[in-house]
Structure 1
Amino acid sequence: MSETAPTSVAPLEARKRLMTEPDLGAGNFLAYAVDSNPNRAVPFVFSHHTDHRGQVVLRGHSLLDLAVLRDRYAKWYHSSGVRPGEPVAVVVAEGLEPLLHFLALTALGAIPAMVNDAMRPDVMLRYLEHVGVVGVVADDTTRLASAYRADPRRRPRFLALTAEVQAFDAASVELPAQYPYRPGPTDVVALIHSSGTTGTPKSTMLAHRQFWEGKQPRMVRFPAEPYDRLMSLMPHTHAGGLSYFLTAVLLGLPTVVMADWRRAAVEPVMEVFQPTMIASFPRTFVELATGELPVKGAARVHSWFNTGDSAHHGHIRRLVQLGERPAGLIKPWLLPSEAATESALPGSQFVDGLGSSEMGMALFGGITTPETPRNDRCVGKPLEVVTAAAVLDESGRELPDGTVGLLGVKTPSRTPGYWHDARLTASFELDGYWLTGDVARRDAEGNFYHLDRTVDVIDTATGPVYSLPVEEVLLADCADVVQDCSVIGVPGPDGQGQVPIAVVRTQAGARDRTAEAIRDKANAELVAAGLAPLAAVRIARTERDFPLGPTGKVLKRELRTRYATLFTEPAAFTEPAAEPADRVGAEPVAVGDPA
């Protein structure tokens, strides 16, 4: 990975031209990258594995390599009868592999339904039936095959192993006469699912032009100096992973596409790859910010990019102490000319992007550096692709600054809607705005503050309590005790309405702290911050007791179900004696007496 190696980065003039291409979009970006980048033969997308000696091995792929793999996979799909407009499920482990299937299917005009392979099998089956997939490619087809054998009428046209596609001899197979497929602006190019912890997951449509809208400025603003390297820790079956991959391919930006988001797998690759940028959901940032910091792996990091659930100040403030950055790096995307001329400062910047599959990209970006004053829950101002952003009441009227309400956006980057569910789509539309599902407020300077998801607001007898500001205090002001946490509302005693409780993962040095002691410490800090105190704390001691969804989000709905009777049947929730330090696992669990 020498800095004197041939550059893969597209020239600035070529990137500027991509910004104005009328037919470029999410369904054909690889073809445009191959045509526009003279460095198309230089490897820049890296997969990774660990060899028999335990050493990290990186394998590079050029734009031409990606095109060859795309075409080989496309021949398999075409020979299997896949035609334009047909949805096909891709149930493939994270990393580069699901992206290759995405490229192949979109090159045929088909619609990849990207499925996280961690989805529960029964939920996955319902989802695939809802989408109406014509076929499934998966790393493991055992459970699906068994379910389809029990009811053959539900079986799609094909059910194939990923290995079958990889081993396909494509020499004698012809691609369609019109290949790659030329998508129209509104053609659906992917289906992305929600977590689906209750019921069938929602299926968000990504359209060819819509998913490219708003990303054009990244062609000149996203760091793309020869020394820049991106580590993508996003789930690549998710819109976030697709978005960063699209950006990296068009820029020719050296990128390692991670197949595992856990710190034990990530940190050794960081040390070998030496990224200058890391993009992730909060799940990995929590682990990297916990315990001894990854100083060696993050030595060259100047930017951390977060999307999905918002990150917390308690974790951000540790990460920005790492790495180094140009002195002028105070915005989400740095102009290349600036990067080359600015002197370096210690520390990095953290860009906390509020976005979702439905929004098409992060539409807000709060920036934190080591010098930034603490400003809990501020996600900054809307990006330029947003034509309007407002805090609304339930009738769609814009609320005055400082008032809490529903966050709505108007932007060409928003999804066309949910697949086969016009009624659900309409429920998120209000007076021309798309409701993001978030509760927010705006200040007089136009900054937005993300307070909660609408489904997570805690309705207490004295008014609503927003869980995210409470979590901020626990993670930032109780950091000696609390490693990670999730604040939820559960029914209180004697019909008092909901009360807030916290499920916490403790720091390694706080294993002997009781739930009551943690609650008292937390409440002292919450009262000082003018926030509602907690009615109880539960300590998470195993992974099962701090449940995460397929994309690493804490499943608050599961926690609410688990603790629904915490105050009505308190005898069922007694705290066991603290375990000896040498018997407590690294992963934390819900115990502790209610207040």
Structure 2
Amino acid sequence: MSTAHRTEDGTHAPHAAVPPALRARLHDDPGLGTGNFLDRVRAVHPAADRPFVWAVPSGGGPEAAQAWSLDRITAARDALAAWYHGAGVSKGVPVAVQMGDGFGYFLHFLALSSLGAVPALVNGGMPAAVAADYIRRTGAAGVVADTPRLEALRAAGLRAGPGMFLQEAGALPLERSPGDRLPGVFPYPHADTDPVMLCHTSGTTGAPKAATFAHRQFFLGKRERLVSFPAPEDGNRLLSALPQSHSAGISYLMTATLLGLPTMVLSDPGGPSAVAAMRAFAPTVVAAFPQTWVDLAGTDLDGAADRVHTWINTGDSAHEAHVRALVRYGRRPEGGGFRPGSRFIDGLGSSEMGMALFRKVSDPETDDYGRCVGVPIGVVEEVAVLDGDGRPVEDGRPGRLGVRTPTVTPGYWNDSGRTALSSFSGYWLTGDVVYRDTDGRIYHLDRVPDVVHTADGPVFSLPLEEVVLSEPGVADCAVVAVPDPGTGAMAPYAVVRPAEGAEPPADLLGALNARLEAAGLARLRGASAVRSEEDFPLGPTGKVLKRRLRERFADALGGPVGSPA
């Protein structure tokens, strides 16, 4: 990495920080939103030519990171927008983008939204057949993808023709040419409800759905970060290991742009990539999805996480075992000095929620776990725990989570029927099973399709997984429902991924059930230790695909009742 981007002590200085007074002015600007934030901040920035983002290219390390300033980002945005305009893309037109995860998604998001078009960002790890089906369902007018993914999409049956262009991403310009043209009105002036992006769901329970994000709705969480997020003038630096095709990746890059916060963006969110970036960049804040924490929790982070004071998780809530492993590292500001250990901010959210709507902060002193995801953040108007008929249940009883908040998606793109079925009496039904305690804290028990319906009643998989992960040598696990030949119902079955170099106990099922009994939870009917990707499949965002695990282990209890699995 170029020493031009570093201070004498080797750290990245906040040369491009947006001054606090300007951040406060932006915060109070009622017209600021997703579609215009780049131009609004650039118009007032005193150092728009200085880099604040270092983007690690696909297949490269932090030493190959490219520096990006506001000026360079805007120039690339305009060059891409001119190309899209020339290709006939205009207001309201969806265009799909798929590539190796990285900063390129942000540039295409900016370019397409600046035309009033609707970028449909597709995770680079999504299988080609699934991606091609998703793109067709969005009605995309075109696809921009890197070479291997474009070839795979063509092999999956996606074809160019009237109303559909296919374009190799590497051939598109990042600098303007003299003959380039932009629309007469540019950038497009978004109204509050104008769509600015489509973000697909994880696809863990079926085909990925296209959640719509709007100019005002998507920006609601970013506005408060202008005054509440760790500030660059305090020496903060952000490492984003989030999937950049996801709304969360876009969200934190928007935050970095609004603050001028020194930020390193990874293309590979895996543990080795994240550790290398941490050693080179010395971040104070690390943002990622749960799968990155799985990798980091089993890694020695001495010398890599020394300056980290905050880990930020979004998407699915994180596991206690991984949180406890991470907060041992780093240092927290306290009384003009530092206290050993860091804090972990966990946030339960989804594409449809628009952002993480529940917040729980853990540190080395925390003993309040039990899959607690905390309390709703300020933007949430109301939270309900509902039974199957839509009636509120009393505290302590499980039910379906419903939220009323202006951050919720306006709906699923091209699927008004599914949108209508996803709400009840003004509550958005998140698809989660939770309970609320008497202090108003929410505890996450399961996703609705993942509940194990046994002969003795429902068993929720997430509390069982927390206990299974406390077994030494377990890196990750998933508890799924498999047919129980003895009862004709379903039974809980644990699929365990051992840590590297660790061997599971000879009686894995007995060891796990002993822990579950001590915790007062249901026993497992079987357990398997697996190491292959086929036996522990992950989706494109790193979530365990329980749907596939149910299929893979459907015959696991096929022998006589009580026989070992």
TM-score range, shorter chain: over 0.9
**2:153 corresponds to which letter in structure 1?**
L
Name the counterpart of 1:470: 464
Match of 1:353 in 2: 347
Give the secondary-structure state (helix, strand or coil) at the position aligned to 1:564: coil
Q: Aligned pair in 2 of structure 1 residues 199, 345: CA closer, same or farther (>3 Å)?
A: closer
Residues in 1 aligned to 2:266 and 2:56: alpha-carbon distance in whole angstroms:
7
Q: Indicate which of 89, 101, 107 corresponds to 2:96.
A: 89
1:155-194 alignment, distance < 5 Å: 156-166=163-173, 170-194=177-201
Task: State the partner residue of 1:483.
Answer: 475
Q: Given residue 502 of structure 1, which amino acid in structure 2 is its aligned partner?
A: A
Tell me how far 1:114 sits from its aligned partner. Answer: 0.4
Deviations, residues 401-424 of structure 1 (Å, cap 9, x unaligned): 111101111100010010011110
TM-score, normalising length: structure 2:
0.94
Q: Report the equivalent of 1:8.
A: 16
2:29 match: 21
Q: Quick check: 1:51–1:57 contact (8 Å CA) kept in 2?
A: no
- Indicate the residue corresponding to 2:538 in structure 1: 548
Is contact 2:94-2:119 (8 Å) kept?
yes
Q: Does 1:111 align with 2:151?
A: no
User: Contact 1:490/1:564 (CA < 8 Å) preserved in 2?
Assistant: yes
Shift of 1:225: 3.4
**Which residue in the other structure is 1:124 paired with?**
131
1:230 is aligned to 238
Residue of structure 2 in register with 1:284 after alignment? 292
- Post-superposition CA distance 1:221-256 (Å, at most 9, x none): 110133100011111111111111111111111111
Which residue of 1 is the match for residue 3 of structure 2?
none
* Unpaired stretches in structure 2, ≥5 consecutive residues: 1-5
| CA–CA distance in structure 1, aligned partners of residues 442 and 40 of structure 2 | 36
| Residue 470 (structure 1) shift | 0.6
Give 3-state SS (helix, strand or coil) of 2:236's partner: coil
Q: Is the 8 A contact 2:400 2:431 kept in 1?
A: yes
Name the aligned partner's letter for residue 133 of structure 2.
Answer: R
Which of 505, 512, 522 lines up with 1:522 in the alignment? Answer: 512
Q: Which amino acid aligns with 2:200?
A: H
Aligned to 1:381, the other structure's residue is in SS state strand
1:444 pairs with 438, 442, 445, which one?
Answer: 438
Amino acid at match of 2:343: Q
Contact 1:302-1:348 within 8 A present in 2 as well: yes
Closer/same/farther in 2, CA of residues 157 and 435 from structure 1, 3 Å limit: same
The question of 1:43 aligning with 2:51 is answered: yes
Name the amino acid aligned to 2:151: T
Same amino acid, percent of matched pairs = 47
Structure 1's 325 and 533: CA in aligned 2 closer, same or farther, altered over 3 A? Answer: same
- TM-score normalized with structure 1 length: 0.89
Name 2:153's counterpart in structure 1. Answer: 144
Q: Does residue 513 in structure 1 map to residue 513 in structure 2? A: no
SS of residue paired to 2:32 = coil
Q: 1:456 aligns with which of 450, 453, 457?
A: 450
CA contact (8 A) 1:310 1:352 kept: yes
1:265 to 244, 265, 273: 273
Question: Do 2:505 and 2:511's aligned partners in 1 also have CA atoms closer than 8 Å?
Answer: no
3-state SS of paired residue (1:326): strand
**Match of 1:211, SS?**
helix
Q: Hey, what does 1:538 align to over in structure 2?
A: 528
Letter in 1 for 2:322: H
CA RMSD of aligned residues (A): 2.1
Taking a change above 3 Å as real, the CA distance of residues 502 and 293 of structure 1, as seen in their structure-2 partners, is same
Partners of 1:468 and 1:237 in 2: how far apart?
A: 27
- Map 1:286-301 onto structure 2 (within 5 A): 286-290=294-298, 292-301=299-308
CA contact (8 A) 1:351 1:366 kept: yes
Q: Secondary structure in 1 aligned to 2:380?
A: coil
- Aligned with 2:220: secondary structure? coil
Residues 481 and 518, structure 1, Cα contact 8 Å, conserved in 2: no
Do 2:91 and 2:117's aligned partners in 1 also have CA atoms closer than 8 Å? yes
Task: Note closer, same or farther for the CA distance 1:200–1:468 as it changes in structure 2 (3 Å cut).
Answer: closer
Q: Is the 1:49–1:56 Cα contact (8 Å) retained in structure 2?
A: no
For structure 1, the 5+ residue unaligned runs are 328-340, 572-592
- How far, CA to CA, are the matches of 2:142 and 2:12 in structure 1? 45
Aligned length: 554
- Matched AA of 1:532: A
Q: Which secondary structure state, in structure 1, belongs to the residue aligned with residue 221 of structure 2? A: coil
CA contact (8 A) 2:132 2:157 kept: no
Q: 1:512 to 1:305 in 2, by over 3 A?
A: closer
Change in 2 beyond 3 A, CA 1:521/1:9? same
2:426 matches 1:432: yes
Cα distance between partner residues in 2 of 1:217 and 1:512:
46
- 1:152, distance to aligned residue in structure 2 (A): 6.5
Q: Secondary structure at the match of 1:360?
A: coil
Structure 1: distance between partners of 2:176 and 2:45: 29
Per-residue CA shift, 1:259-315, capped at 9, x if unaligned?
00111222111100000000000111110001x421111110000000111111111
Tell me whether 1:245 sits opposite 2:253 in the alignment. Answer: yes
- For residue 222 of structure 2, give the secondary structure of its aligned residue in structure 1: coil
Deviation digits for residues 177-213 of structure 1, max 9, x if unmatched? 1111111100111111123356542110001100011
What's the offset of the Cα at 1:436? 0.9
1:559 aligns to what SS in structure 2? helix
Instruction: Output the amino acid matched with 2:426.
Output: G
Task: Tell me, yes or no, if the aligned pair for 1:56 and 1:268 is still in contact at 8 Å.
Answer: no
Q: Residues 317 and 269 (structure 1 numbering): CA distance in 2 closer, same or farther, change over 3 Å?
A: same
- Matched residue type, 2:476: D
Whole-Å separation in 1 of the counterparts to 2:205 and 2:293: 27
Q: Give, as a single letter, the amino acid of the residue that structure 2 aligns with 1:26.
A: T
Q: Quick check: 1:423 aligned with 2:431?
A: no
Offset of 1:507 from its aligned partner? Answer: 2.6
* Conserved 8 A contact 1:381-1:446: yes
Cα distance per residue 1:522-563 (max 9 Å; x no partner): 111100100001111111121221100011100000000111
Pair 559,50 (structure 1): closer, same or farther in 2 beyond 3 Å: closer
Instruction: Give secondary structure in 2 for the equivalent of 1:345.
Output: strand
- SS of 1:409's equivalent in the other structure is strand
Counterpart in the other structure of 1:403: 397
Question: Structure 2 counterpart of 1:549, which letter?
Answer: G
* Contact persistence 1:233–1:258 (CA under 8 A): yes
Instruction: Measure the CA separation in 2 of the matches of 1:256 and 1:28.
Output: 23
C-alpha distance in structure 1 between counterparts of 2:546 and 2:58, whole Å: 35
Query: Contact (CA 8 Å) 1:486, 1:554: kept in 2 or not?
Result: yes
Contact 2:130 2:207 in 1 (8 A): yes
**In structure 2, do the counterparts of structure 1 residues 152 and 14 end up closer, same or farther at CA, with 3 Å as the change threshold?**
closer
Pair 508,175 (structure 1): closer, same or farther in 2 beyond 3 Å: closer
